[in-house]
Structure 1
Amino acid sequence: MTRTAVLICPGRGTYNKPELGYLHHHHTERMDLFRSFDAIRAEAGQDAITALDGASRYGVGKYSRGDVASPLIYSASLADAQALAEDIEVVAVTGNSMGWYIALAAAGALTPENGFRVVNTMGTLMQQHLIGGQLVYPFVGDLWKNDPARKADLLGEVARINELNYHTLALSIDLGGMLVLAGDEAGLQAFEATHPVVQDRFPLRLANHAAFHTAMQAPVAAEGRARLGSDLFSQPRHPMIDGRGKIWWPGATDTEALWEYTLGHQVTAPYDFTHAIQTAAREFAPDLFIVTGPGATLGGAVAQSLVLGGWRGMTDKASFQTQQEADPFLVAMGRADQRALATG
């Protein structure tokens, strides 16, 4: 019996110390694919991803860099997407932030090698420019109860800070029960100074992250378009849900428009991951939501997005956990206790 699934690809921040060796541990049979990525890296004089993944030590300063993290995450995620059990039918693909690039390859709109070129180029450009930064702050509490008033207040504060002279701050990603904010140092510090620490760790600065999905990235987007032509893109094999909740359908995708979105709006405007997940649930009603590795942190944002959308009548963390324990429908391939649910 076939199980339908929406495939969800992660973004930056998911290849950390516990993930070192992910490619060698889970995907020895795909080393030829990884070596083709190494060849692309060699052309640019960059370290091979097989060597980076096979290193004996993990250092945050190195592995959180855009030109290192992005290709490693892409390789791990795409390999996971290729490792799904035969009874799983992918009905749609989406991703968070950089995960959109991976989704393009997982859905067939980019070849594995061209997807790698896009990710490696954009990750390298982001690192070279490193314009601004990001922080994370939740608007829901530990119970995941929707609090639209709290969210509106926080976004109002973001707008107020952004109006100050010599301050830039904006919404970067709508991420389940969390807001990812991006701006310059003055804008980020102003938010941190006026918002209390919650859940022992927020507001949380993200190391080596630029002000993704804001107008500050316009120079990176322009350089990306100059280096990556629209001829890299083709019709997807699976429907794709982008960071606005728009669905790109196989056989009906304007590949020029897809290129323009991917290296334009997607880079310089807010990314609504919550809406993408809710669209996936409502339009495709899958049996499973499968989050590819590396890491498993995106699972929480997926669960929160479903709860905030009232999927299957869920209204809080407890109702999600009840349904998940009875019949697991959210599978994180980066979790050892869940991986076999997707790989068979």
Structure 2
Amino acid sequence: MNDMNGPRLALVFPGQGAQQPGMGRPWTGRPGWFLVERASEVSGRDVQELLLRADEQQLRRTDNAQLATFVLEMVILTELRQALPAAGRPIVCAGHSLGEYAALVAAGVIGFADGVRLVTARGDAMRAACAARPGAMAVVLGLPADELEGAAAEVRDSGGQVWVANLNSPQQAVLSGEEASVARCAELAGRRGATRVVSIPVGGAFHTPLMAPAAPSLGETLARIELLHGFAPVVANVDARPRRGTDDWRSVLTEQLTAPVRWTESVRVMADELHCDLFVEVGPGRTLTGLARRIAPQVSRLTVSEPGQLPAIPAPVRQAPARSVA
């Protein structure tokens, strides 16, 4: 890390699945908490209830999980920028699935209120699609993505509906599709050498063609929001390419509903092409930090999910000036 010129910082935001009951409690009373009230006004939902008192079952519901996670990430980002000036002008932003919306706000491409509107519409649309066409998802460990793609193709060739939805690291990917097809593909993955398969309790086939019914409703909201130029690129899930606010994010976000999340490639782009030397994960948990360690171990990593982690940011990092992409 070049301390003299400041870190080449990438902000990364986790998605649905990172949420936990009571995850907002450490942040109550802090300056950034005002965003919770603002989000409640915009969405018409009691976001404070979701962040402070909702139980695991309530937070598992797609619309609740997405709104609560997004708003908490915005609260944390506000606090982070006070402690780490470089977070105000990152080299690049990226988010995993839902986290892409937080990344767009962090990069100045969409405003906070529009972000709330989009996440609310997305969560509602995806919940409706799950109800109409239930699905399942499962994490597969220890098997290269091309091997898992082969297993999924074999199941589809026999009439099943299963796809590789998340390419998270060289040895971790996520299956998504109809429950029986996911189970069949998981069995084939085990025969091909997978070390472990873990079901994800979501009730829907995210990032597959089964989410297509959610696109029209999300598209209506996308048509009404304002896209700004922004001050940093966002690496898109659908193709792992850095995009500015002037790019067609409306079509990208619609495609994201049914396309796989190319997270491994996204991390490599940030590390190798944009030469980032510090990844800061903003939000609950530390999933993306762990993935980054496997994909780009040469890059330094920080996790900010609780206020106590802010003072722990190393002084040379805190005091370094912000940088931006040339």
- State the TM-score, normalizing by the size of structure 1: 0.80
| In structure 1, C-alpha distance between the alignment counterparts of 2:307 and 2:84, rounded to whole Å | 20
Can you list the C-alpha shifts for 1:138-170, whole angstroms capped at 9, x where unaligned?
136xxxxxxxxx4322221111011222x2000
2:142–2:195 Cα contact (<8 Å) kept: no
Q: For residue 232 of structure 1, give the secondary structure of its aligned residue in structure 2.
A: coil
1:221–1:267 Cα contact (<8 Å) kept: yes
- Mapping for residues 220-235 of structure 1, pairs under 5 Å: 220-229=214-223, 231-235=225-229
| In structure 2, C-alpha distance between the alignment counterparts of 1:23 and 1:120, rounded to whole Å | 22
Can you list the C-alpha shifts for 1:11-66, whole angstroms capped at 9, x where unaligned?
11111247352442xx6212322111011232xxx3x11122222xx532211111
Q: For residue 203 of structure 1, give the secondary structure of its aligned residue in structure 2.
A: strand
Can you list the C-alpha shifts for 1:219-275, whole angstroms capped at 9, x where unaligned?
10122102331543221221111111111136xx23xx2111112x21111110111
1:19–1:295 Cα contact (<8 Å) kept: no
Name the structure 2 match of 1:332.
Answer: 303
Question: Which amino acid is the alignment partner of residue 235 of structure 1?
Answer: H
Within the alignment, does 1:134 sit opposite 2:117 as a pair? no
Name the structure 2 match of 1:153.
Answer: 147
Can you list the C-alpha shifts for 1:91-120, whole angstroms capped at 9, x where unaligned?
110111111111111111110110111111
- Mapping for residues 274-313 of structure 1, pairs under 5 Å: 274-307=264-297, 312=298
| In structure 2, C-alpha distance between the alignment counterparts of 1:336 and 1:41, rounded to whole Å | 26
2:15–2:95 Cα contact (<8 Å) kept: yes
CA 192–37 in structure 1, closer or farther in 2 if over 3 Å, else same? same
Gaps of 5+ in 1: 141-149, 313-323
Name the structure 2 match of 1:208.
Answer: 202
| In structure 2, C-alpha distance between the alignment counterparts of 1:334 and 1:304, rounded to whole Å | 20
List 4+ stretches of structure 1 deviating above 3 A. 192-197, 335-339
If asked which structure has higher relative contact order (CA below 8 Å, sep 6+), I would say 2
Task: Select 1:32's aligned residue among 31, 34, 53.
Answer: 34
- Mapping for residues 182-193 of structure 1, pairs under 5 Å: 182-193=176-187
Name the structure 1 match of 2:47.
Answer: 49
Q: CA deviation at 1:172?
A: 0.5
Cα RMSD for the two superposed structures: 2.7
- State the TM-score, normalizing by the size of structure 2: 0.84
Q: For residue 205 of structure 2, give the secondary structure of its aligned residue in structure 1.
A: coil
Question: Which amino acid is the alignment partner of residue 218 of structure 1?
Answer: A
Task: Select 2:59's aligned residue among 52, 60, 63.
Answer: 63
Within the alignment, does 1:14 sit opposite 2:7 as a pair? no
| In structure 1, C-alpha distance between the alignment counterparts of 2:242 and 2:253, rounded to whole Å | 13
CA 63–218 in structure 1, closer or farther in 2 if over 3 Å, else same? same
| In structure 2, C-alpha distance between the alignment counterparts of 1:194 and 1:239, rounded to whole Å | 39
CA 234–108 in structure 1, closer or farther in 2 if over 3 Å, else same? same
Can you list the C-alpha shifts for 1:180-218, whole angstroms capped at 9, x where unaligned?
111011211212344449xx9941121125212111111
Name the structure 1 match of 2:251.
Answer: 260
| In structure 1, C-alpha distance between the alignment counterparts of 2:58 and 2:94, rounded to whole Å | 28
Name the structure 2 match of 1:249.
Answer: 244
Give % identity. 21
Q: For residue 268 of structure 1, give the secondary structure of its aligned residue in structure 2.
A: coil
